[in-house]
Amino acid sequence: MIFLTVGTQLSFDRLVRAVDQWAGKRQRSDLFGQICDPGDQGYHPTHFEWTRFLSPTEFEARFEAASCIVAHAGMGTIISSLSQMKPLLIMPRRADLKEQRNDHQLATAKQFGSKPGVFVAQNAQDVGAALDALVDASSQKMIPISPFADERLISTVRSEILKAGRK
């Protein structure tokens, strides 16, 4: 199963529409989405089952059952996917499209896009090809991430703490 999640605070019509179009073209029935509340004017998918909200228990069950994940570039989903070795497609929300207050998700997508098993779609036109690659990757063995921070981050934080202590 493919699990689409866009968080619980904001809808993400651009991603949901692109995934829905892909599901319709590929006649995929193994997709489920947690898409927030699209409202009356928002996009309501027609080619896959979806809900506005999942309880934490329901969310965890859907996540566990999924062979791959599609999401906005939110850190919680990225870390969960990598920790559970589930291939992931992310599309960053953009501030200029009023999907987010700032463009931090662009930086997140850039940072994680080079990781094995992580696919990035910068726009809706990229989603179909990225989903095809994601599905292909779901049968490949992923490398688990470390439960510890990268040594470069630890070194930088240590250095900053030591600098602050000398002031």
User: Tens digit of pLDDT per residue, the chain (167 long)?
Assistant: 999 999 878 889 999 999 999 999 999 989 999 999 888 889 999 999 999 999 999 999 999 999 999 999 999 999 999 989 999 999 999 988 888 888 889 999 998 888 888 999 999 999 999 999 999 887 776 777 777 888 888 899 999 999 888 87
Question: Closest Cα partner for 72 from 157, 8, 158, 29?
Answer: 8
Neighbouring CB atoms inside 10 A of 74's CB total 18
What pLDDT does residue 153 have?
85
Strand, helix or coil for residue 57: helix
**Beta bridge mates, 89:** 70, 119
First to last CA, the chain: 54
Helix (H) or strand (E) holding 69: strand 68-72
